[in-house]
Amino acid sequence: MKQLQDELEKVKSEAEEIELIEEKKYQDELEKLKGELEKMQRKTAIM
């Protein structure tokens, strides 16, 4: 029983780690898109 609980905790921990990695990827992509949008807005403002 204890071994099963330990295994469950390990899996939960790994799942949380994966979630954080995925969240970071989306955050990075969002920042990149924001930067591109700001560049486009500056170009449009110059025109």
Task: Name the residue range of residue 24's domain.
Answer: 1-47
- What is the SS3 assignment for 13? helix
The pLDDT assigned to 47 comes to: 75
The pLDDT assigned to 46 comes to: 83
Rounded to whole angstroms, the Cα distance separating 5 from 41 reads 53
Q: What are the average pLDDT values for consecutive 10-residue runs of the chain, which has 47 residues?
A: 95 96 97 96 87
Buried residues in 34-43 as b, exposed as e (16+ CB within 10 A):
eeeeeeeeee
Rounded to whole angstroms, the Cα distance separating 38 from 32 reads 10
